[in-house]
Each structure stands twice: as structure tokens, then as C-alpha cells.
Structure 1
């Protein structure tokens, strides 16, 4: 598809004025486990008798590693590996990411390597395959699958992040149960759990998890939770017998520590980068309000959204593009359907992989959003700019918010500079930095 600067679209947008914007800082509660302290926290958790006694000398222990950009994931995974070794057992890492990585064993290894999880850095084997074992059927009559290599181990440790999901609500969202049923289920298991759509996935996950806990060698889970600044704030080991009870309790804690855009609503949201390292759908709709289904809600109230680029570590998996009003040609040219579409075929959620309007430059993406606003003051558009949906401590806001922020209307939001015009280079790329830090 040819998208060129200077064409008809460019001419239609060239006179759209982008308002001045100012830098702002958002302050949230910040419980944190420092990276240097993570190994000690994990050793303390796992040294409890109910966990340590399950790992015996000579056992082959599978440790899960997912596809998300989890804070300190390499440190967390290595600490679990080292603890297993300290018990005289033989750890190995299993990619637990459903159909991600292009639904191939090699693609999943590549994803882990991008998070510094390799055999060299972890000091143990990484065993990747897409072959599964049928464990049985859930109470909802769904087949339940598990990664063959993990199933054949002497024990499985479920390491994952626990957080709100981006497309549905329920007691079990993103956490140990999802990692067991979808992550370890590989392509086959992920497809089954998603088969009824996001309206039923909240039932399918716990139903399938019960089968796995009954028939697979799960030892325990050790989820981590992150604070509003994408920092590890809690790590807790959960015995297999306690997972179904404890996970919903920890989900409430995760919700309480989520960040948000404190102004609550805007006309246009500008996202500098999307990526699988930020969210399964490129941007976290719990922040941006751009949900791919009707089964979840929240985030900022917004009319138009543009995405400007995608992270290199996403390897072209631009899920989330369909949630934007416009994207740039730069982002479009980096998309790889072979990486994107397996997720959609598995999840049955097609909206997030759609292609919105594609424009030539960053400047035109913002201008298009402003021009197409309905029932809004386009000359004084309320615009929020964020670097991505995971790091929103520093943002930019248009001049329409300036007086209210100065006067303290939004608790936790502070002005960091005066309104100024955004700078673009000759190619139309946005060069004004969000933060001076």
C-alpha cells in the first residue's frame, strides 16, 4: 500500500493546528522490591517448607517463562532457577506463551531471548516445543492441553505476572491460572480456552485450571505484581492447593496498584510506541480505554487515538493497531502478519489486528485525529501524549488542561513545564521529548 507525504491526505491535513503542550508528572503509590533484592525475596518465599520440600535432589523441574515484557523477568527467572539448583534438582525453562512467537518453537525462543532469557544467561536448558498432551476435559466439556515437555517433568513451577486482563473481567484474569491453561496449553490449549470468545473465557480459564491442578505435576506458582511505574512490588509463592483461592485476592491488589491517566478523559490520545512488551494488545486498554471487546471497560475516556511506532522487540507483532484511529507509515511498514494473525486465530478477537487509517507522518497522525473530532473544540483540543501504555509517570498534555493542573484539580498530577509547540523534523517525525529526565 502506497502512503506518501504530500498527497491528497497531506493537503487536507496541512492546515490543522496542533495545540501547544506541556510536560506533566503523575504521582502514584510506589511499593517496590528493588531488583537487587529480588533473588533474596524469592529464596525467602521458596525456602518455606511447603515449597522447598517439593523439590528433591535429581528432580527435573520445569519453570515457565511468558511472552510479556515483565519487569525484572530475567532476574526473577534466574532466581527461581538458582533456587531449584540449590535443592539439587535440574531446572529447565519452558516458554509458556500459547500461540505467541508466531506459534512456533523457534519464535518462542526468540521472544525469550529478547528478555535476556537464554541458556547462557539462565544457566540451564530452555526446552521449547509446540507439542501438547491431552489431560482430559473440563467441567465445561472443553479439552485441556499441556506442553508435553512440562508435563513429562517431575514438577512445574508457574512463574508469571499477575495483573488485570485487557479484554475481559473475572476472578481469574492474567495470572497463574491463565499461564497454566493458555501459556502452557500452547497453540492447542490457547485456542480451546479462547474458543467461546471473551464473554466466556473468564469461565473457561478456571475450569481448565482445575483439570491441570488435578492431573499435571504443578508444584506451586510464584507470580509477581507490578506497581504503577512498571516496577516489581510483590512476589508471592502460592502452593498448588491454594492457587484457586489466592489468585483472586492478589488480583484485587494488582488493580489497586495500576496506574491511570489522571485527567480521566481527552479528545485525542497520542501513543509514541506500542509493543508486545507493553501489553498483549500493544497498548494496555486498562490505561488507554481502547478495548478490543465489550467484556471489559475502564481507562481514559477518549474519542481519537493515534499510534506512532512499534518496539523492535515486538518483531512485527503489531496487535493493537486496530484499536487506533490512525497509525503512521513507519509503524505500518514494520508489521508482520505472520506474527500478528496467529494470536487472532487463537483468541478469536479480530479487532486488535485491524489496520486503521495509515498516514505518512507523526504530525499527520495527530492532525487527522484532531480534524475528525466530533462535538469537540478542535482549536483547543484536549490531547494526552504518552510514551507507551506501561510508563505514564511522565506525560504531555495540551494547553487546555494547563490552568486546571496548575490549580491542583487532579490529585497526583503536576506541571513540569510551560506549554510549547511540538517540534517535528523535515520528515514530519515528532522530536519533542516527553520528559527532560
Structure 2
């Protein structure tokens, strides 16, 4: 498969090279009349309530003690000697290394034998090594965690769903004495329901590895809400789930809340945490624009590369929200996504920089598993940042060419700071303030932006 993938990528590269050699001058000339406006640097204001590292450790250990020891003390021998699997997903969850290390530490302090398992469906190229490498990128290694990381794509049947379908989960998790499911709870990018991204989905899809993920996706996203609930409930019933650790983040990609839920409370409490997560997730305060520029996308920000709950770039008709943009322009892939350009298909234009980094093999395995090809398509490719933005604006049919409405964000996970064109400043929300401007976007001689928007809280404009 890798050989075929490389041959496909080479063919696409040849096409791109042909354009660069023969068509770039013509394109540059055609775009020469597109004048980009002046921009303001703007700060959006969100509720920044969050947990410090010390609070995370204290709260997490306290709730684990309450759920796993105090509540089960009567007639329960405790955790001593139990082999316990702790799940780790593929998303860039805030403080995930600290959270997992704290859980592992608690288990070891109470005599258990913990190990970490990747619970990420088909991500990481659907290979054990690829999934372990993804975790290493988040600082989750055997050395840093102080326990083994058992990565395998083998699954084991544990029972049936209420409607009679077989349920498979990671073999080593199925054979452990207990499982602690860890996951961030937030709105999903492709479907709606009482359970979206969170603990139920981690059990239904993450623990199911590539096989389980494919089965759960088989009926498409129109049935995903039902399948997540049905398979998740079956895992709770048939697997040795000890508890779930639900994580809610704020608009700054910081840990807002951690709840340790006994297995019998997961189905009841998760929908409440989902509502809270939706209220505090990042968003663009403007309702619409002509062109939305996104500096970087990647699987560490969203399963769809850029969270459509922010960008409005949904790959299915089963969810909606976010800003309404006539064109979306993508400039780069994040280093953490390792070439998985899922989400490029929901853009209007990408840069040659993105194209050159694409690992289409990983992308297409991801698309094949989720049964949705929209996010893995390759849109128009422009030679540099400037022409990518100009091409988007040139092809807008609703924009005022003299006063275009353009927004630029770093990524969909961090939108506190952004560039806002002059026409949109007239619509400045009350919960946003101008930092500086107006000034032009800074391009170098190659037509690429020389600045970078802040990627996380605490950073400032360069």
C-alpha cells in the first residue's frame, strides 16, 4: 500500500511541478489586480477559567480515590495486583501527559499494575507503531509515564450490542483486570447527539481500533449518534470498565474541569459535560466573512484538521455551526499531524507547502475508516500564501472587491488573536478589542507571510 501511495503522490507532484513550471506566471498575472486590504490585529475575549497543574493532580487523585477505593471499599479487595489499562487518544488534549501520568501514579501507589493503550481507532496509519509514535508526540512515552505502553491493533470480541451486533475492543484492554477510559468531551465535527466526542465515543470507536472504528462508521455519520451510544453502552456492560475520566476544556485549549465517573454514571453525566464544553469552546465572534485564512491545520487540533464548529467547514450535513465563509484558505500543516492533511478537502485553496507535506496513505486510511471522503480531497493548489489568499478572493461572488471581509486565524483551537480586515472592524463585537493596525499582511519576496499568529495562550503577535 505504501508503494502505491508513493506512486500516487509522485504523480500528483508531477502535475504540481508542471503547473509551477508552466502556469505560475500566468496565474500571478491573473491575480495581479486583486488588492488585499489593510488588517487590524484583534483580541477576542473568552472566559479563561482553568485548572493549574497542581489542581489537576489534586482533583484527579481525590476523585480517583473516591470512585475506585472509598465507594468500593465494602467487600472489595482494592486495586492491589490488578492489571489496569488506561486509554490514550490521538487528539491534542490539554495536559494529557500530566493527566495520564497522574492516573498511572495513583494506580501504582495503590498496588495496581497500570499500562497505557492507544485508543484511537485507525489513526496513526492503523498500525501499532504509528499509534505509539502519535502518543510520543504528545510526550506520552514509557519513560515519561513510568509504565508500559502496549500498542497493538489486535481486538477481541467481548459481547453484542442491544441490537445484536458483535462488539470488539483492544485485546489487551479486554484481557486486563480493569480499564480506565480517559477522554476530552466536546461537540463532534460531523454529527450531533447526546454523546459526541467523549467517553462513550472513546469506548465505541477508540477502543475498537481500526476494526471497531470501521464497523461503527459503516452506516455513515447519519447513524453515528445512535452507534456511539449503542456500542458505548455495550462496552460498559461487557468490558471491565472501572471508571471514565472526562475532560472539559476552555476556549484557550486549557483544562477547565475533570470529572472521574463510575462506570454506571458515564451515560447519565456525559451529556451534561457536553453542554458545558459547548458553551466554553473557542469560536470566531463574527458570524460571517468572505475569506477565512487558517495558518495551520492538523489532527492535533481536530479530527477534521480544523474544527468545523469554529470554521463552519463541515464534511457532513449532519452538523452545523461556526462562521459562514464563502472561501477557506489553508496555509500549512502542523508538525504534530505528521502529514495527515485530513480537512484539506473542506478548503477552497491550499498552498504548495501543504501539498508537499501530505501523507496521502495516512489520509486515505483515515477517510476509508470513517466512510467520508470529503475531508481528504485535494483542492486548488497555489504556489505561495499571497496567491492562495488572492485566488480565494478573486473567486468570491458575494464579496465587495473594494472592501472584502477577511479573517485570519492561527488554527481552529486557538482563536484569541486574529487578523481582521478593515470592512469587518466596523462589525467589531463588544467582547473583542483592537490591538493594533491597520497594516498590510507582511509577505516576503517569495509571497509567503513572514509573521505567525500566536499558537497558544500567553503568546503574542510577532
**TM-score interval, smaller chain:** over 0.9
- CA drift of 1:394 comes to 0.6
1:136 is aligned to: 159
Residue pairs, 1:279-358, within 5 angstroms: 279-358=302-381
Alignment of 1:414 with 2:437, yes or no, is no
2:194 is aligned to: 171
Match of 1:264 among 287, 302, 305: 287
- CA drift of 1:284 comes to 0.3
- CA drift of 1:136 comes to 2.7
Match of 2:449 among 408, 427, 430: 430
2:46 is aligned to: 28
Q: Distance in 2 between matches of 1:72 and 1:415?
A: 30
2:243 is aligned to: 220
- Confirm or deny: 8 A CA contact 1:223 1:235 kept in the other structure: yes
Alignment of 1:37 with 2:62, yes or no, is no
Residue pairs, 1:219-238, within 5 angstroms: 219-238=242-261
RMSD over aligned CA atoms reads 1.3
317-326 vs 395-404, which deviates more? Answer: 395-404
User: Could you list the per-position Cα deviations for residues 301-351 of structure 1 after superposition, in whole angstroms to 9, with x for gaps in the alignment?
Assistant: 110001000011111101000000000000010000111111111110110
- Confirm or deny: 8 A CA contact 2:67 2:262 kept in the other structure: no
- CA drift of 1:114 comes to 0.1
Q: Distance in 2 between matches of 1:139 and 1:430?
A: 54
Q: Any unmatched runs of 5+ in structure 2?
A: 1-14, 454-459
SS of structure 2 residue aligned to 1:4? helix
SS of structure 1 residue aligned to 2:327? strand
- Confirm or deny: 8 A CA contact 2:410 2:452 kept in the other structure: no
Q: Distance in 2 between matches of 1:403 and 1:267?
A: 15
Q: Distance in 2 between matches of 1:155 and 1:247?
A: 20
Alignment of 1:160 with 2:183, yes or no, is yes
1:13 is aligned to: 31
Match of 2:206 among 183, 188, 194: 183
Alignment of 1:4 with 2:20, yes or no, is yes
- Confirm or deny: 8 A CA contact 1:282 1:320 kept in the other structure: yes
User: Could you list the per-position Cα deviations for residues 176-212 of structure 1 after superposition, in whole angstroms to 9, with x for gaps in the alignment?
Assistant: 0100010000001000111100000100011111211
- CA drift of 1:259 comes to 1.7
- CA drift of 1:134 comes to 1.5
Q: Distance in 1 between matches of 2:164 and 2:331?
A: 43
- Decide whether aligned partners of structure 1 residues 49 and 254 sit closer, same or farther in structure 2, where only a CA change above 3 A counts: closer
Match of 2:91 among 65, 68, 84: 68
Q: Distance in 1 between matches of 2:286 and 2:315?
A: 22
Q: Distance in 2 between matches of 1:57 and 1:141?
A: 36
- CA drift of 1:433 comes to 3.8
Q: Distance in 1 between matches of 2:79 and 2:427?
A: 61
SS of structure 2 residue aligned to 1:199? helix
Q: Distance in 1 between matches of 2:303 and 2:440?
A: 33
Match of 2:79 among 56, 62, 66: 56
SS of structure 1 residue aligned to 2:296? strand
1:87 is aligned to: 110
SS of structure 2 residue aligned to 1:230? coil
Q: Distance in 2 between matches of 1:85 and 1:76?
A: 14
Q: Any unmatched runs of 5+ in structure 1?
A: none
Q: Distance in 2 between matches of 1:211 and 1:262?
A: 40
SS of structure 2 residue aligned to 1:109? helix
